[in-house]
Amino acid sequence: MDQIAGPTPRLPRRRTALRAVPPSVRYLQEARAMRVAATPEPEGLAETLRKLWRHRRTILASTVLLGGIAAFAAWSMPSYYVSEARVLVGLQGPRVLNVEAVLADVSPDAERVQNEGFILQSRALALQVLDQLKLRDDPEFNPALRKPSLWARVTDVRSWMPEPIKGWIEPSAPAKGQTVAAEVPDASAADNRLIDILLSRIDVSTLGRSHVLSVKAEAQKPQTASAMANAFADRYLDYQRRDKVSSMDRVDKFLMGRIAELREQVKKSDQAVEDYRRANDLYKSTGSNVTAQQLNELNTQLLAAQTAKAEADARLAEAQELRKGGLNSESVPEVLRSPLIAALKTQQADAERRAAEMSGSLGARHPSMVSARAEVGNIQGKVNAEVAKVVDGLAREARTATARYETLTKTFEQLKQKMGTVNDKSIGLESLERDATVNRNLLETMLVRAKQTMGSEAILDANAKLVSAAAPAQAPSYPPKSLIAMLGVVGGLMVGSAIALMRESGDHTFRRADQIEAMTGLPVIAMVPQVGGRTPPAMQVLRQPTSAYSEALRRLQIGVELSEAAESPRTIMFSSATPSEGKSVMAASLGRLLASNGKRVLLIDCDWRSPRQHQIFHCDNRGGLASLLTDKPSSLDDVIHHDALSGLDVMPAGPWNPRAAHLLSSERMRNLIEAVASHYEFVLLDTPPALVTADVLALSRFVEKVVFVVRWGHTRQDNAMEALRQIVDAQGDVAGVVMSRVVAKQYRQYGRLDPFYAEARPTRTQFG
């Protein structure tokens, strides 16, 4: 093996082919397993807590930072004290006769209580409170008296300007002799600002469904807060009483003016009535005028005369019938009532009785009988004469009654005509009398009201009262400093937790072996820890053969051997998805470990773009793999460096030319690997990343096994999946995945198992 002649190195071939190409079905199954991502199981509470615990420092820092900021902000804020005064609205005022008719008290309801609350917060009352408590001199309520804060002084640009620039920006001073009118500040505008500030510190609300108003005042001093609440309540009560008194004064003025007017109107209306009576001869008697009384009396007499005439006519008619013989004389009432006729009738009856007695014993011609009949006839004549007299009297009475009736009728008709004229004139009189009566009644009413309201101002009071005066608060009510600090701590904890969960959700690298196995379907044959300290990893396998790093490399060796059941692989290629995965150091460390155990091992650096092996082993890179693959014949002794510490043979990459990059995938490279494999028990190839060059895909077909390196917490999952897919599609036989540069302390936070010995942990850890 002194010299290689010809375009291809002539080395003894292996006794058999390196290996047979595995069936394509196996690669298809592996590729399909890698392409199909495993469905993630739902995370439980334990896994979430484990994620948070992994970022406990971030959470603690966020909690301390935000909690400290909240506590500093809370304790730097001024404290405000709140005092409360309670006012009962809707009290009924004192009743003085009918004063409530003038100032009626309205029954309280929700709307009225709310309206009273708005009145209590009026600007007029606020201005009175400003004057009463002299709040214009308090810097808390007067911004003009406040000293500029530190932030205002820092942000004041003018104070930082040089004097020339400040003088150029500011208006120039007036010339000599020139006067400038002084700017007088608007007092009302200043008062309005103070009133706005004061009202912003007052809160008026209704206590539940009651008629009690809660007046809360807020200030930096408890005495000021209580004084403000009580002042607003007192000003409100005083406002209500003064409003009632002013209303009563207006009513009194109105009543007195109205009384004077009504007195003049009553006087004029009464005079008008009397003048109208005299002008129209409408003299007033008791109850009515004279003409009406005469008409009423005449009407009564006329009715009586009419009745008497009718009676007289009836008696006369009966008497006339009696005279004609049509009636019995006894049927005439006047005849019956006449005592003379009654006596004559009695005498006539006695005479007829005696004649009847004598007729039984004496004859008709007896002188006694003749005398008795003559006496009867004489008495009968007297009766007839008296009846005639009665009839004549009735006739005279009938004529008298008729004459009187006719006279009364004529007089009544005359009075009726006169009464019509009087009635026409009385219409105007009644109108004047009604006006006078109305004016007189109004005057009486106003006099009564004036007497009732006179002196009632002394007993008028507000329809509300102060049921609870405000007292100075013992503790500030705002800001809740402890609560703000606690919220800051809770907020910091939540923000830190959110950041931790976002970092976890945004972590698309591999942190556990089961992640790689679930996504790729390939076993994780070893987990190589991160090596700390000044000792290089490739030297640690020699200086500390029982360290966790050395044990992981032995596990890697065993995993590669177990990946092939028929024969232990001899040609092994190390590859990764992206640079800085740790494959070069891992290949060098494994080579030294195997060589230190008495194995004949050759390490070939195939990464011509970024060679590392000559740096690790401190050898010359002027001759190497590039020299064997070019047309120039080279000696193996010139390209192989022997490591005296472990007995490992190292073939550097050599001086590569970009035009010769295709030689890595050429048939000459296959022959070279087969040639050196016959002389070494293990041939390790350090290849470039799979996603960087295509050389790895060809080299994967020249070796028996491919070890794919994934850096813990660094390699992205999609990059690793893509690199493995390309290697599998190129029919590379992947023995498994090695997780490199695992930080043992952090891995324990992700994994449920600890793959490293406690006594073998490094003293210093580099977080990757």
DSSP summary character for residue 633: -
Amino acid in position 106:
V
Which tens digits make up the pLDDT trace of 241-267? Answer: 888 778 777 777 887 787 888 778 887
Please state the rounded mean pLDDT for residues 322-351.
67
The pLDDT value given to residue 3: 40
pLDDT, position 588 = 92
Q: Give the C-alpha separation, 270 to 248, whole Å.
A: 32
Residue 264 lies in a domain: no
Amino acid at 324: K
What is the rounded CA–CA span in Å between residue 77 and residue 476?
12
Distance between CA atoms of residues 386 and 607, nearest Å: 187
How high does pLDDT run on average in the chain?
A: 77
Residues 531, 574: one domain? yes
Say if CB 639 and CB 608 are below 8 A apart.
Answer: no
Euclidean distance between CA atoms 509 and 525, whole angstroms: 18
For residue 46, being part of any structural domain is answered with no
Based on the fold, state whether residues 373 and 485 are members of the same structural domain.
no
Buried b (16+ CB within 10 A) or exposed e, 446-463: beebbebbeebeeebebb
CB 112 within 8 A of CB 90: yes
Q: Which tokens sit at 268? A: 């004029």
Task: Look up the CATH number of the domain holding residue 645.
Answer: 3.40.50.300
More confident residue, 458 or 408: 408
For the cut 50, the answer to whether the pLDDT of residue 230 exceeds it is yes
Least reliable range by pLDDT among 211-220, 444-453, 596-605, 744-753: 744-753
**Rounded to an integer, what distance in angstroms lies between the CA atom of residue 716 and that of residue 577?**
9
Q: How confident is the model at residue 652 (pLDDT cuts 50, 70, 90)?
A: very high
Please state the three-class secondary structure of 544-585 as a single string. CCCCHHHHHHHHHHHHHHHCCCCCCCCEEEEEECCCCCCHHH
Tell me: the pLDDT tens digits for 273-301?
777 777 776 655 544 566 667 667 777 87
- What share of the chain has pLDDT > 90, as a percent? 13
Tokens of 273: 């009535």
* Whether residues 488 and 568 fall in one domain: no
The predicted-structure confidence for 708-758, as pLDDT tens digits, reads as follows 999 988 888 889 999 999 999 988 899 999 988 888 777 766 655 556 654
Instruction: Say yes or no: 498 and 561 in one domain.
Output: no
Q: If pLDDT is split at 50, 70 and 90, which confidence band does 34 have?
A: very low
Q: What is the dihedral of CA 557, 562, 567, 569, to 10 degrees?
A: -30
SS3 assignment, position 246? helix
Considering the domain boundaries, does residue 167 fall inside one?
no
Does 428 reside within a domain? Answer: yes
Q: Dihedrals φ, ψ of 470, to 5°?
A: -75, 140
Same domain, 562 and 710: yes
Q: Which domain holds residue 679?
A: 24-36+524-750
The pLDDT score that the predictor gives to residue 303 is 76
Among 70, 38, 47, smallest CA distance to 500 is for 47
Q: What is the phi/psi pair of residue 737, to 5°?
A: -115, 135
CATH number, domain with residue 323: 1.10.287
Q: What is the pLDDT of residue 23?
A: 39
532 within some domain: yes
pLDDT score for 405? 78
Tokens (6 digits) for 276: 């109208």
- Residue 219's DSSP bridge partners are 81
Percentage of the residues of the chain whose pLDDT score is greater than 70: 76
317 compared with 455, residue with greater pLDDT: 317
Are 492 and 538 found together in one domain? no
pLDDT at position 207: 87
Phi, psi at residue 208, to the nearest 5°? 60, -135
Structure confidence at residue 632 (pLDDT): 67
Q: Which residue has the higher pLDDT, 355 or 38?
A: 355
* Predicted confidence (pLDDT) at residue 328 exceeds the cutoff of 60: no
Among residues 504, 537, 557, which one ends one of the domains? Answer: 504
DSSP code, position 84: E
> Does residue 650 surpass a pLDDT of 90?
yes
CA 759 to CA 308: how far, in whole Å? Answer: 159
Asked which of 298-307, 313-322, 389-398, 472-481 is least confident by mean pLDDT, the reply is 313-322
Q: In this structure, is residue 423 part of a structural domain?
A: yes
Higher per-residue pLDDT: 490 or 503: 490
Please give the Cα distance from 110 to 641 (Å, whole number). Answer: 102
Q: Per the structure block, which two tokens stand in for 528? A: 């190589």
Q: What is the Cα–Cα distance from 276 to 735, expressed in whole angstroms? A: 141
The residue among 249, 282, 234, 527 whose CA lies nearest residue 426 is: 282
What is the mean pLDDT of the segment spanning 621-649? 82
Return the closest-CA partner of residue 466 out of 118, 106, 212. 212
Residue 454 inside a domain? The answer is no
Lowest model confidence (mean pLDDT) among 241-250, 576-585, 648-657: 241-250
- Tokens standing for residue 726: 């390309």
pLDDT attached to residue 460: 67
In this structure, the answer to whether residues 491 and 528 fall within a common structural domain is no
Q: Does 498 lie in the same domain as 366?
A: no
Picking from 685, 670, 687, 695, the residue whose alpha carbon sits closest to that of residue 603 is 685
Q: Single out the residue in 441, 469, 504 at which a domain terminates.
A: 504
The per-residue pLDDT for 156 is 64
Between 245 and 211, residue with greater pLDDT:
211
Q: Are residues 361 and 409 in the same domain?
A: yes
What integer pLDDT is reported at residue 721 of this predicted model?
92
* Least confident segment among 450-454, 666-670, 737-741: 450-454
pLDDT-based confidence at 463, cuts 50/70/90?
confident
What is the total count of domains within the chain? 3
Please report the sign of the dihedral spanned by the C-alpha atoms of residue 619, residue 620, residue 621, residue 624.
negative
How far apart are alpha carbons 580 and 78 in whole angstroms? 56
Q: Are residues 416 and 495 part of one domain? A: no
d(CA 581, CA 572): 17
User: Any idea of the CA torsion for 258, 260, 261, 266, to the nearest 10 degrees?
Assistant: 120
In a domain, 570, yes or no: yes
Kindly report the backbone phi and psi dihedral angles of residue 329, in degrees, each rounded to the nearest multiple of 5, phi listed first. Answer: -65, -25
Omega within 30 of 0 (cis) for the link into 9: no
Whether 424 and 496 map to the same domain: the answer is no
Judgement on whether residues 582 and 706 belong to the same structural domain of the protein: yes
Which pLDDT does position 9 carry in this prediction?
Answer: 40
